[in-house]
Amino acid sequence: MKPAFVFIFIALLLTALPSIAEEPLPAVAARPPVYTDAAPRGPSVDERLAEIALRVQAESQYPPLARVRGVAGTSEVSFEVGSAGVPVRIETTETSGHPILDRAARRAVEDAAPLPFVYGRISVPVEFRLREE
């Protein structure tokens, strides 16, 4: 008796399914897609790199001894921007030919903090030019 009951139940269920499927679904308001971006909002990477270069150059102090000796040149320094905009692992990647200017360039990077965040290692040239008067 049980198998017959199950058979009848399945038959009734199968006959009811087409009528359920034909009923229209209630209208749902269409939502605009939501897009997320992993990059922080704000200035582009190029704008942040330009800002870093400007800040480092602005913080560079011409060493008085280098000025007296008439020493000039460009020192390229590379570093990473760590937490809170603090530069880490500062190195001279291209020397000016004068250790005193290379040290001043590394110091300028430290003094320019806090810097805008940029992922990865970046290089910035620091120029030391004597003014002709």
Domain residue ranges in the chain: 45-128
Spatial CB neighbours of 127, under 8 Å, sequence gap ≥ 6: 57, 60, 73, 74
CATH of 45-128, one of 3.30.450.40, 2.40.128.110, 3.30.1150.10, 2.170.190.11: 3.30.1150.10
Collapsed DSSP state (helix, strand, coil) of residue 76: strand
pTM of the model: 0.66
In the chain, the N- to C-terminal Cα span, in Å, equals: 114
Per-residue pLDDT at 53: 94
Per-residue pLDDT at 25: 61
Q: Is residue 83 very low, low, confident or very high in pLDDT (cuts 50, 70, 90)?
A: confident
